[in-house]
Structure 1
């Protein structure tokens, strides 16, 4: 199972009080999402080489606590929903004390890079589809 994405906030990501600015969490979701996809063998570069783009349709973030400069965080992305045309993630950010400080989600779809038409991975890219299907089986058995 994916071990999570770890990072420490950079100084420029904080305000004058050393608290991480709220806008950075969305960037961190993306970093963690890219890390999970690479872990699964679905690097964005590989999908783009195959002619697939994965735009963000929506993003949501709930702040439950503060993070400070220098504090290591773990971001756990999870594929919450996959149906061959849509891909939704959920995210949990925890601090060094293993307290949940932020949760969120993002929604995506798959488009053909040159035409921006919707595609179905199951039909058009069965190898990529199988990777997501296998991941869903493994991740759902963990609960």
Structure 2
């Protein structure tokens, strides 16, 4: 079913909306980043972390890099599952790896998204909050 499942992996499933598709009937390439962002925050919730709490600590998490590999198309009404995992954490950055499956068996997209932790006040990189470091170290 899902390859290389590990402890820090999270699955988030949903159905493709008509508004996510283009004139050709495919999910538009820009929708994939939205899928991955939603999956990332659902993973955080399941891991006991909350983005609101991170922001309340004065920390922002802008995306600094995104790489996507389109393997097969997705279409309106497809049932998709995003597998999210933390690939690595170095300094102020965390790399999330994603696999997107159609019907839980067909790998259709792979991605890596890097987020940086930024101090809200001075807009400079900073260490991840303790709540995130604790989760990362627990899963390694």
TM over 0.5: yes
Q: Which residue of 116, 128, 133 maps to 2:132?
A: 128
Residues 1:21 and 2:36 are matched in the alignment? no
Task: Give the corresponding residue for 1:93.
Answer: 100
Aligned residue for 1:92, secondary structure, equals strand
The alignment yields a C-alpha RMSD, in angstroms, of 1.5
Q: Which structure carries more helix by proportion?
A: 1
Equivalent residue, structure 2, for 1:141: none
Residue 97 to residue 41, structure 1, CA distance change in 2 (3 Å): closer
State the TM-score, normalized to the length of structure 2.
0.87
* Aligned: 1:71 with 2:75: no
- Deviation, 1:84, is 4.6
Q: Which runs of 4+ in 1 moved over 6 A?
A: none
2:109 maps to 102
Displacement of 1:128 after TM fit?
3.1
Question: 2:51 — aligned with what?
Answer: 44
Could you tell me which residue of structure 2 aligns to residue 140 of structure 1? none
Q: Secondary structure at the match of 1:69?
A: coil
Count of aligned pairs between the two proteins: 133
Deviation digits for residues 46-67 of structure 1, max 9, x if unmatched?
A: 1001111111001011100011
Q: Would the aligned equivalents of 2:83 and 2:98 in 1 still touch at CA under 8 Å? A: yes
Unaligned runs of 5+ residues in structure 2 are: 1-6
More strand as a share of residues: 2
Deviations 1:68-122 (A, max 9, x none): 111100001110111352100111000016110000111111111111122123x
Normalised to the residue count of structure 1, the TM-score between the two structures is: 0.85
SS of 2:114's partner is: strand
* CA–CA distance in structure 2, aligned partners of residues 14 and 112 of structure 1: 36
Q: Give the secondary structure class of the aligned counterpart of 1:79.
A: strand
